[in-house]
Structure 1
Amino acid sequence: MAHDTQGARDKGYLLNNRQAEAGERFAALSALFDPSTFRHFETVGVGRGWRCWEIGAGGPGVPGWLAERVGGSGHVVATDIDTSWMRDAVGFEVLRHDVASGQPPAGGPFDLIHARLVLIHVADRDKALRSMVEALRPGGWLVLEDGDPALQPLICPDEYGPEQALANRLRSGFRELLGERGADLEYGRKLPRLLREAGLVDVEADAYFPITSPVCTVLEEATVRQIRDKLVAAGLATDEEIDRHLANVAGGLDLALPPMISAWGRRPATA
């Protein structure tokens, strides 16, 4: 479960993984996106004996799935700047590592490298992407998944009342805070091109986003609680508006997420 923990600017990462709400966000993101991620792993053929690098893992869900799939003859290394949510890891190696450094961890070359909700936040994305490609074995697969908040910016696409309008305004403030911290809010759509430009072949991509789900409600409540002080400090919302929005969410709103764009490509078998 790759999470947005890498390479923030000097203002600091917007969603601090040390906050209590981080665990709720990790669980919600896992519930929403793990099935799609695992489907892409099936597509590229992850199997016994593979060596895998899970970047920005956050929690144990994705590397745990990979560890089961590759078996004892394979190896999975899960990296993140903050590894505190993987203390109970079983079956895979955990390393504190910043993909923005441009240096891959030991254990390669890799048959699979995966990152979800990572590069959108990395300041030098091109450098990080190059390091991933270089860490692939010939024929190895890179699977990148990132949101594209600019492609579908509304948390309530069906804006039919004041509750939905307020939700969308607060989501606009969230995007503004992300942009100030260097996030590329159009990054997801660029992934297929970037993989081809990096020399990968057999590049494909698709997108998934929920229109409404109880898990989206959990994710929104945790996210708003994490960033409320920053929204207020930036003049993007008042405490009263945030309280009203949280009450609206608890009362039932159809909440969507930006598209999660998944792109995958293979390093040519011969250089």
Structure 2
Amino acid sequence: MASSEPASSVDGYLLDNARPEAGTRFDALSELFDPSTFRHIEQLGITSGWRCWEVGAGGTSVVTWLADKVGPTGQVVATDIDTSWIAGTAGGAVKVLRHDVGRDAPPEGGGFDLVHARLVLVHVTGREQALRTMAESLRPGGVLLLEDADPALQPRICLDEYGPEQALANKLRNAFRSLLASRGGDLAYGRKLPRLLREAGLDDVRADAYFPITSPACDILEAATVRHVRDALVAADLATDTEIDTHLANIATGHLDLSTAPMISALGRRP
């Protein structure tokens, strides 16, 4: 979240930061998606002195990268409901705040050159309010960059379902998507971002999509995610312990060619 992990289990968020698997997920998400995120931000011309808001920061990779870019004359405000993973980045150019973007007013001061959220709004039940909050916190000319998955656009984790191992992986991915939907996740949110940015009053809206088809980081992310939600899958009668153990063993072979849902990156500029 990165990598962005925006809410707690108390709020119904399926992938809460409190679980030990969260750190592994942050690292894998960073490896998979940081290059794309950094490319989008660099194309905006980020430089010393910028004031940035990293929403639902989750892990540290984007926060520390932004801090390096804005330098001592700039500021990075890093927020999350659970700030335990980013607390160590506070100081210097980084200010860490506990904040619920779906409910709270923007951080004091506003006037951000850049507001960025990755894998946040797809999970936040108050996503409409959250998007308005972020758009309204921009200075004139500031940019909102939202990056969210669209699991409904590409629902398979194994694109090439040629055997029982791949079929099981796709079955468990569908089960995971069912859990996300039951917790208020919008599985088709990513594709809506360009329209939603325009409706929020932003101009110069652009978007693209990216997803890896196979990578060691995909294997790490899937194993950590399945372990994270294992109890919920079994409790909802969406998978058995045997199926989960088999799938984890299949992942360990490195032969599944696991992909991710498409990541839609959309940006718009405040007039």
Instruction: Tell me the distance in 2 between the aligned counterparts of 1:87 and 1:8.
Output: 19
Tell me whether 1:116 sits opposite 2:118 in the alignment: yes
Q: Is the 8 A contact 1:110 1:135 kept in 2?
A: yes
Identity %: 68
Instruction: Tell me the distance in 2 between the aligned counterparts of 1:100 and 1:166.
Output: 35
Instruction: Tell me the distance in 2 between the aligned counterparts of 1:137 and 1:6.
Output: 26
Q: Which amino acid aligns with 1:129?
A: L
Question: Which runs of 5 or more residues in structure 1 are unaligned?
Answer: none
Instruction: Tell me the distance in 2 between the aligned counterparts of 1:195 and 1:43.
Output: 19
Instruction: Tell me the distance in 1 between the aligned counterparts of 2:158 and 2:123.
Output: 24
Instruction: Tell me the distance in 1 between the aligned counterparts of 2:52 and 2:250.
Output: 42
1:159-178 matches, cutoff 5 A: 159-178=161-180
Match of 1:213 in 2: 215
Q: Which amino acid aligns with 1:85?
A: W
- Please list the CA deviations of residues 28-60 of structure 1 after superposition, one character each: whole Å capped at 9, or x if unmatched: 001110010000101111111110000000121
- SS at the partner of 1:203? strand
Residues matched between the structures, number: 267
TM, length-normalised to structure 2: 0.96
Query: Structure 1 residue aligned with 2:189, among 183, 187, 190?
Result: 187
Which stretch of the first structure deviates more once superposed, 86-95 or 161-170?
A: 86-95
Instruction: Tell me the distance in 2 between the aligned counterparts of 1:202 and 1:8.
Output: 36
- Please list the CA deviations of residues 152-202 of structure 1 after superposition, one character each: whole Å capped at 9, or x if unmatched: 000001000000000000000000000000000000000001001111111
Structure 1 stretches of at least 4 aligned residues deviating more than 4 Å after TM superposition: 7-10
Instruction: Tell me the distance in 1 between the aligned counterparts of 2:85 and 2:32.
Output: 18
Tell me whether 1:262 sits opposite 2:247 in the alignment: no
Q: Is the 8 A contact 1:8 1:182 kept in 2?
A: no
Evaluate the alpha carbon distance shift between residue 8 and residue 151 of structure 1 in structure 2; reply closer, same or farther with a 3 A threshold. Answer: farther
Instruction: Tell me the distance in 2 between the aligned counterparts of 1:8 and 1:216.
Output: 24
1:144: how far off? Answer: 0.2
Question: Which runs of 5 or more residues in structure 2 are unaligned?
Answer: none
For the aligned residue pairs, the C-alpha RMSD in angstroms reads: 1.3
Tell me whether 1:29 sits opposite 2:29 in the alignment: yes
1:20-59 matches, cutoff 5 A: 20-59=20-59
TM, length-normalised to structure 1: 0.96
